[in-house]
Chains A and B, each alone.
Chain A
Amino acid sequence: MAEKVVDIQDLEYWYMQGTPMEVQALKGAHFDVYRGEVVAVLGHTGSGKSTLIQHLNGLLRPHKGHVRVLEYDLTDPNVDVKALRRRVGLVFQFPEAQLFERYVGDDVAFGPRQLGLSREEVRERVRTAMNAVGLDFETYKDRFTFSLSGGEKRRAALAGVLALRPEILVLDEPTAGLDPEGRRLILNLIRRLKEEWELTLILVTHDMDTVAEMADRCFVLADGRTVLSGTPREVFAHPEVLRELALDLPHPTEVTHRLAATGVPVRPDALTLDEAETAIRHVLANGSANT
């Protein structure tokens, strides 16, 4: 079995602890990831998703419970957070808002420059990262960051994290605010990067179609706790729980579930359009469910 690269158990976290404003954001979350997996974190706004993922590179430290990422034990006050952050890249929501350098090349180079690498090594990393996200190094390195389109800015921000050569990449809502074409482009890019860079991917998203298409496993958070986990097929087999948490089903799953509920003996657990098409064609041709 693959190596477990993230292991979080009974994690609790409070904001403004010890003040009258104290809020408990995590109340016993568990979460684990194996090397090479694509794992999705689902949950409504305020469910604790963002708090959870900020533990993955030590931006937050657990108040209670157990957090291990790679070989780093985050409960240890002397843990080498700097080393951890080189290996776990975190791309926040709307990362384009965080570009701050004048030139694209400098922005992508910011991370690697902090690592004490040689000029040549920094340049090489920036070149590789920019080319990997489809921003040709020679064409884009001297462009003003503000002159990029929204989609290009998002890719530049992603390149800045990739230039650190992380093993684990955490993406918070990578498709938010994108049009259908932009969404398709960024998801294809993420898929390709995962293969070529042998990344472990953690996706935080509301986009259930993305989860259905990409994730090996997913975790559903609600009110600071992990309430469901498993493969997308296992998790989406609980539409009533998801509905109660104001989460959607993937569109194809919604159709097959509702059909099954009306008494049509269709296989209810389609995840993709292809699967839904197959299941419905089968029941309409044969009068029974495919297996």
Chain B
Amino acid sequence: MDPIIRLEHVWHIYSAQGERPIEALRDISLRIYPGEYVVILGRNGSGKSTLAKHFNGILLPTRGDVWVKEWNTKDLQHKLAIRSTVGLVFQNPDNQIVATIVEEDVAFGPENLGIPHAELRRRVDWALELVGMTPYRYRPPHHLSGGQKQRIAIAGIMAMKPEVLVLDESTALLDPRGRREILDIVQRLHRQEGVTVVAITHFMDEAIWADRIVVLDEGRLVMSGSPEEIFSQPDRLRDHGLDVPPVTELARRLHRHFPEIPPAVLRVEELVTAVRDLYARRFVPTAMHSETAQQEHRP
């Protein structure tokens, strides 16, 4: 399968007048394939937001190339095609709201793509439904919660029918409820609508849902692998200013004493099941064990 986004030896150097140039990205090569869910992790200042802005040509590489499908982002005549293929949701919902009524805000993007009116209506209805904000369509957006505003921002992007959704720390400013709302929606868009997702975050527990994790530090791509592979290397992660999710850390510690408990557990349910099974095997030869056996045979 051809990648939908391809970065070839991308460097990005910020040079302000009279200041030392900053190498924000250093020789990044990365491919994103259709249907993938990729999480990019990195500490503050690692270059991950600069990277996000390269995915749809908001920033252009100082050296190297970014390709979206067959279009080079440096080729300005493809700008519109690129922007409607790769949609970007930013960190601060307040900076993304442009209209005074929710549905007008959602319509803003596709309207600028020149979508005809009837189709525009359909898309806005569909996008509002996707993020569960239909009841708020006639409300002014500034009274909504952070999570709701971010859902509106996602609806506005989705109404442009992008193939790739890039989330640039889109949950960082939200409270736990808002974060959960956004994560649920993004996972649903990925599963049900087949949207390719690239999520940039420094919340480790958001990364466990990824097909692939990419770790950035000092502008370089330093680790890449499945969540299990990445989170089984806590020392390397800590060297890059990151950490493993607390549940993984707990499983790792228990694994040292009870090898039956897998060391790279990512989710609470997995750890609970592993401990419960081990307990049942050791202490409850009858009732609980059979129940466990049934659970194990569940698909």
Residues of A whose CB lies within 8 Å of any CB of B are 44-46, 149-151, 176-182, 206, 209, 246-248, 251-252, 254-255, 258-259, 262-264, 266, 273, 276-277, 280-281, 283-284, 287
**Across the A-B interface, how many residue pairs have beta carbons closer than 8 Å?**
97
Given contacts A264-B276, A284-B278, A287-B282, contact A45 B254 (CB under 8 A): no
- A277's closest neighbor in chain B, by CB? B253
Q: How far is the CA of A187 from the CA of B4 in the complex (A)?
A: 41
Shortest CB-to-CB span from B152 to chain A, Å, is 16
Given contacts A178-B44, A206-B176, A251-B246, contact A46 B145 (CB under 8 A): yes
Q: Is the interface of B mostly helix, strand, loop or mixed?
A: helix
Partner among A150, A176, A180, A273 whose Cβ is within 8 Å of the Cβ of B242: A180
State whether the Cβ of B83 lies closer than 8 Å to any Cβ in chain A: no
Question: Digit string of B7-39 for contact with A (CB within 8 Å is 1, else 0)?
Answer: 000000000000000000000000000000000
Q: Are B257 and A258 in contact (CB under 8 A)?
A: no
Residues of B whose CB lies within 8 Å of any CB of A are 42-45, 145-146, 172-173, 175-178, 202, 204, 238, 241-243, 245-247, 249-250, 253-254, 257-258, 268-269, 271-272, 275-276, 278-279, 282-283, 288
Q: Are A150 and B271 in contact (CB under 8 A)?
A: no
Task: List 9 A-B pairs, Cβ < 8 Å.
Answer: A178-B44, A251-B246, A254-B268, A258-B268, A259-B275, A259-B276, A264-B275, A276-B250, A284-B258
Q: Are B43 and A179 in contact (CB under 8 A)?
A: yes
Shortest CB-to-CB span from B93 to chain A, Å, is 13
- B201's closest neighbor in chain A, by CB? A179
Given contacts A176-B173, A258-B268, contact A182 B257 (CB under 8 A): no
Q: Are B254 and A280 in contact (CB under 8 A)?
A: yes
Q: How far is the CA of A251 from the CA of B45 in the complex (A)?
A: 27
- Which B residues touch A259, using CB under 8 A? 272, 275-276
Given contacts A209-B246, A259-B275, A277-B253, contact A149 B282 (CB under 8 A): no
- Which A residues touch B269, using CB under 8 A? 258
Partner among B175, B241, B253 whose Cβ is within 8 Å of the Cβ of A181: B241
Q: How far is the CA of A182 from the CA of B202 in the complex (A)?
A: 11
Shortest CB-to-CB span from A250 to chain B, Å, is 8
Shortest CB-to-CB span from B297 to chain A, Å, is 17
